[in-house]
Amino acid sequence: MKKLLLVVPLLLLACGRQASDRPRFVELPDSSPLVSFRLVFLTGAASDPPGKEGLAGLTASMLAEGGTRDRPYSEIVDAMFPMATSVSAQVDKEMTTFSAVTHRDNLDRFHALFRSMLLEPGWRPEDLTRLRDQNVNFLRVSLRGDNDEELGKEVLYNAIYASHPYGHNNAGTVRGLNAITMEDMKQFYAAHYTRANLIVGIGGGYPRDFPGRLRKDFEALPEGERSEVELPNPTPISGVRVRMVEKDTRSVAYSIGYPIDVKRGDPDYLPLLVMQSYFGQHRTSAGRLFTRMREERGLNYGDYAYIEYFPRGMFQLEPDPNLARRQQIFQIWIRPVEPETAQFALRLALFELDKLVKDGLTAEDLEHSRKFLTKYVNLLLRTKQAELGYAVDSVYYGIPDFATYVKEGLAKLTVEDVNRAIRTHLRTDRLQIVAVTPRAKSLADRLVGGRPSPISYNSPKPAEILGEDKIVAGWPIPIDSKALEIVPVEQVFE
Amino acid sequence: MKRLRAVIVLMCAALALRAADAPKVFPYAYDLHDLPNGLRLIAVQTSFPNVVSLYIVIQVGSRNEVEPGKSGFAHLFEHMMFRGTKRFPPAKYEAVLKEAGAASNAYTSDDLTVYHATFSKEDLEPILDMEADRFQNLEYTQAQFRTEALAVLGEYNKNSSSPMQKLNEVYRDASFTRHTYKHTTMGFLKDIKDMPNQYEYSRQFFDRYYRPEFATILVVGDVQTAGVRNLVEKYWGSWQRGSFQPRIPEEPPPAGPRDAEISWPSPTLPWVLVAYRGSAYSDTDQDQAALDIISFIGFSESSELYKKLVITEQKVDLFGADNPDRIDPYLFSVVARVKNPRDIEYVRDAILEEFRTFLDQPVPADRLEAVKSHLRYQFALSLNSSEAIAARLARYVGLRRTPETINQLYEIYRQLTPEDIREVARKYFVDRGRTIVTLHGGIGK
């Protein structure tokens, strides 16, 4: 609640309106022929009631992919089709986002549809059946079956946040989804889709009076109160814990991490952003992990690190906005490695993490990352959807616009700030490891046994690498067999 | 007779006038400039501030992998391009991009390989300089080559958990006999495993294809096109033209129908894929454009079949068609993920029946107009940043080396009639050109 009070004065600055005048608006007009909508409700999977995991996600699906009071879903699709537009929903723990882009030629027609989808949902049983199946199949088939990396990342969050409102997938659980009734969704909608919870982002070439029309639309929603779920601290991790997800697959995908008490707007956020850029910048070839694991040793396709939730990283080079959370984790993502080198790869990642914690960055490393981030932040905002999304996130976190926040904050950073933040928040001794792997027992035995895992290469390597390999091959990862569990993939997300 | 001719002339004039009046689908002015060495530059000034996207399009892809055992090589070579030069070894190359705050990457497809970076406009010159050096003076050791080949195996591994990758491999393999579209861009696994041994061939590959006559440079964003032209001439003018002429094996007429079954090792829902031998990309003939329109009328979210299988009967949860633009005739495919294994045949037959309707009756005029509208707005909505414009252009430039091909293609869409579409459907949707692949995954209610 204290945090909320801090957010409100900044919103007044951002929106120039009275605090009681909800919903809040972020307006970014320009002369483009396109009009972008980004509506964020401050609610999400963390608000799923126990036993109904998936309620926030299914409710959002019903709005974005279901019929309205007057039109079945197929008619909405038909009406949208000539305009080549659609409404997308993204559900995270504390945010539910509806986004769409339309051409200004079609603005009025699109607006009428969008309005009725959000404000006059049809709650049709046939839509519920279809969308429930869709969400169950997302968990059971797509996430378990088609993408070992995303599976590992999501299981990592489940493991770290066990018995916590963040502890289930944003799509829910199979059992939770199957328990949800139409009445549950109507109640969730009534309680959470309120003006107090809504931030409306609108950008592009819309007429000047358009935001006023949107404001009038949302008078149909109840005023409500900001519904913020109480979040306990995640259970501390003692020692090194391992969850292996066993499936018939070619290689081993790892995700490793633990909670950090740092989020956007906190004093240590920018120092850790620099660390992330140096150590594991997403999908570039410049990060330390990438260079040492892939470029020098050819262990896999890539290796990265994060300080914020970053789903779908295998398909995109930049994070999506509107995944803002009050609690975040630090994580390392090791893309699939051959089973024979899986133990060595894990040791190397933890060896590099240890080196990072002990040695930190040099002043030169900081300068490189500072220059990179100061310019890269502009690229993060290069579409109107991204610009709106980041602006909404800034409202949530109570910070200035993201580019200013990053640029001004980075300008003041010293290498001591960065290394102190690393020492404060990062460690190698208490962490959660998730491995999606074939033949889990064999890998488990090797990890617990802790015997050296020397590596050989198909080409000559520099003496420096070979020397380091000797250390890495015996790098201790103290895993107690009691802290290691093997879960058949069929049980995940049930 | 004379009178009739006059009427026809008038009609043609009216048509021409309408075509000229219609706003161009690709709305930006551009500077298209050919250097004496064969390199082409296309520079586009946009209204998006501060940012520039550089896309370097090489007209080489897995289609060019004609020698046995070399599948996947164009893609491997894309990886090798990041192994540096004397002037810019990998660490320095990455440092320059990092200082520029650039988002950069590359991809390979059947017909093209694309290297791209997006950055602040003040960094255009140093990046053009560095990229020109890489395309002319790439150097790597055998040891580096062997290491990078393992990263490609890693890429195969990370993709291999998806049944879609397997479907893609199998339906191409089943559908082609001689043409290199038989294999995916990743390549056959046995060839990927042998890649570390192909160092010599990799040098030959570079020598053949990384030449200016195969390359088009796209610079899109907050730039003055005259200044861009000067920079490209300065840094890329010395690139030496090559002499290699690729000979791609011609695929004989299809002799199907063909069927293939896949048994997937881990639990998944079944998939059904129905494909027909399709058309090559064209901005002059109507075949590919008509097939595009069929893909929307017959199999998009707004199609009757989608509504039947996904929304009403709910037998399928993922459904769609693909008719990609390729240099040589490729495949028109429809794919469905089936919720219950008992419905595999039902879904397959429903898809086949939908194909047959295009042979029997002309498509409704209002549906055709809705698709034409969709295509126009879909294109307009895709131009939402300089990078998005460059990315969209790159795919067409890989086929025809000019943005004008987009306007020509959309003009064909505009002119297509229901009768044209039936004619094209009758030409392509024939049993001998058909491939059906079913993937069984062991789960489903």
- For residue A328, what is the domain's CATH number? 3.30.830.10
- Angle between helix A342-359 and A415-425 (nearest 10): 130
Confirm whether B30-236 and B258-442 share one CATH topology: yes
Burial of B365 (0-12, 13-18, 19+ CB in 10 A): exposed
* pTM as predicted: 0.93
- Do A340 and A372 sit in the same domain of this protein? yes
pLDDT at B256: 83
**Do the chains contact at A103 and B381, CB–CB below 8 Å?**
yes
State whether residue A403 sits within 8 Å of chain B by CB.
no
Which residue of chain A is at minimal alpha-carbon distance from B143? A459
A343 and A298 fall within a common domain: yes
Q: Report the gap between the CA of A81 and the closest CA in chain B (Å).
A: 6
The domain tally of chain A equals 2
Residue A19: pLDDT band with limits 50, 70, 90: very low
Q: Are residues A79 and A162 in the same domain?
A: yes
From residue B151, alpha-carbon distances to A296, A320, A337 in Å are 10, 27, 10
Q: What is the mean pLDDT of residues A11-33?
A: 71
Indicate the residue of A81, A126, A384 with minimum beta-carbon distance to B302. A81
Question: Which of B53, A434, A270 is CA-nearest to residue A278?
Answer: A270
| Domain annotation covers residue A482 | yes
The proportion of chain A whose per-residue pLDDT surpasses 70, expressed as a percent, equals: 96
Do B90 and A285 lie within an 8 Å CB cutoff?
A: yes
Give bridge partners of residue A434 from the DSSP assignment.
Answer: A243, A255
Residues of B in contact with A461 (CB under 8 A): 143
Q: Whole-angstrom Cα distance, residue B224 to residue B141? A: 39
Task: Measure in Å the smallest separation between the Cα of B103 and chain A Cα atoms.
Answer: 7
In a domain, A228, yes or no: no
B36 by Cβ neighbours in 10 Å (0-12 / 13-18 / 19+) ranks as: exposed
**pLDDT tens digits, A445-455:** 999 999 999 99
**Residue A371 and residue B120: Cβ atoms within 8 Å?**
no
Q: Do residues B241 and B136 touch, judged by C-beta distance below 8 A?
A: no
Q: Any CB–CB contact under 8 A between B163 and chain A? A: yes
| A351 within a domain of the structure (yes/no) | yes
Same domain, A69 and A103: yes
Q: Do B157 and A250 touch (CB under 8 A)?
A: yes
Cα B74 versus chain centre, distance: 15
Of all residues in chain B, what percent are helix, strand and coil, respectively (each to 5)?
A: 50, 20, 30
The reply to whether residue A78 touches residue B302, judged by beta carbons under 8 angstroms, is: yes
Residues A44 and A164 in one domain: yes
- Considering only the beta carbons, identify the residue of A286, A317, A336 that sits closest to B157: A336
Topology (CATH level 3) of domain B258-442:
Cytochrome Bc1 Complex; Chain A, domain 1 (3.30.830)
Domain boundary among the residues A170, A191, A220 is at: A220
The verdict on residue A26 lying in a domain is: yes
Return residues 285-344 of A near B (CB < 8 Å): 285-286, 291, 294-302, 314, 317-318, 335-338
Question: In the predicted model, what is the mean pLDDT of residues A99-116?
Answer: 98
Percent of chain A with pLDDT over 90: 92
| Best residue in B122, B195, B317 for a mutation probing chain A (most A CBs within 10 Å) | B317
Residues A477 and A352 in one domain: yes
pLDDT tens for chain B, residues 1 to 445: 334 444 444 444 444 444 445 679 999 999 999 999 999 999 999 999 999 999 999 999 999 999 999 999 999 999 999 999 999 999 899 999 998 999 999 999 999 999 999 999 999 999 999 999 999 999 999 999 999 999 899 889 888 888 999 999 999 999 999 999 999 999 999 999 999 999 999 999 999 999 999 999 999 999 999 999 999 999 999 999 999 999 999 999 999 899 999 999 888 999 999 999 999 999 999 999 999 999 999 999 999 999 999 999 999 999 999 999 999 999 999 999 999 999 999 999 999 999 999 999 999 999 999 999 999 999 999 999 999 999 999 999 999 999 999 999 999 999 999 999 999 999 999 999 999 999 998 665 4
Quick one: A212 and A290 in the same domain? Answer: no
Over residues A369-388, the pLDDT tens digits come to: 999 999 999 999 989 999 99
Answer whether residue A391 is part of any domain.
Answer: yes
If asked whether residues A416 and A471 sit together in one domain, one would say yes
Residues 6+ apart with CB under 8 A from B58: B112, B113, B114, B115, B209, B210, B214, B215
Examine the domain organization and report whether A103 and A22 are in the same domain: yes
Contacts of A85 in chain B (CB under 8 A): 377, 381
Q: How far is residue B31's CA from residue B216's CA, in Å, rounded to a whole number?
A: 12
CB contact, 8 Å: B165 with chain A?
no
Contacts (Cβ under 8 Å, ≥6 apart) of A231:
A46, A164, A165, A166, A326, A327
Does A466 lie at the interface with B, CB-CB under 8 angstroms? no
Which string of DSSP letters, residue by residue, matches B271-295? EEEEEEE-----SSSSHHHHHHHHH
Report yes or no: B97 at the A interface, CB cutoff 8 Å: yes
Residues A137 and A279 in one domain: no
* DSSP state, residue A317: S
* Structural domain span for residue A137: 2-220
Domain coordinates in residue numbering, chain B: 30-236, 258-442
A382/B386 touch (CB, cutoff 8 Å), yes or no: yes
Q: Which residues of A touch B97 (CB under 8 A)?
A: 284, 286
Which pLDDT score, from 0 to 100, does residue B444 have? Answer: 52
User: Rounded to whole angstroms, how far apart are CA atoms B182 and B63?
Assistant: 9
The pLDDT of residue B158 is 83
Residue of B nearest to A253 (CA): B158
Q: Residue A58: name the closest of A47, A74, A69 by CA.
A: A47
Say if the Cβ atoms of A298 and B268 lie within 8 Å.
no
3-state secondary structure B86-111: CCCCHHHHHHHHHHCCCEEEEEECCC
Task: Supply the DSSP symbol for A68.
Answer: B
**Shared domain check, A372 and A409:** yes
pLDDT at B157: 86
Residue A143 pLDDT more than 70? yes
Give the nearest chain B residue to A371 (CA atoms). Answer: B99
State the average pLDDT over residues A182-209: 97
My answer on whether A182 and A305 are in the same domain is no
Q: How far is A65 from chain B (nearest CA, A)?
A: 10
Burial of A353 (0-12, 13-18, 19+ CB in 10 A): buried
Burial of A10 (0-12, 13-18, 19+ CB in 10 A): middle
Q: With beta carbons under 8 A apart, name residues in chain B contacting A77.
A: 301-302, 307
What one-letter code names the amino acid at B27? P
The pLDDT assigned to B376 comes to 97
B428 to chain A, closest Cα gap in Å:
26
pLDDT value at residue B177: 96
Cβ–Cβ gap A337/B154 under 8 Å: yes
Q: Does B361 touch chain A (CB under 8 A)?
A: no
Using the predicted structure, report yes or no on whether residue A440 has a pLDDT greater than 90: yes
The pLDDT of residue A14: 41
Nearest by CB to residue A82, choosing from B50, B196, B374, is: B374
Q: What are phi and psi of B384, to 5 degrees?
A: -100, 10
A446 touching chain B per CB within 8 A: no
Q: Do A137 and B339 make contact, defined as CB atoms within 8 angstroms?
A: yes
CB contact under 8 Å between B158 and A137, yes or no, is no
Domain B30-236 has CATH 3.30.830.10: yes
* ipTM score of complex: 0.92
Work out the average pLDDT over A287-316: 95
A458 in any annotated domain: yes
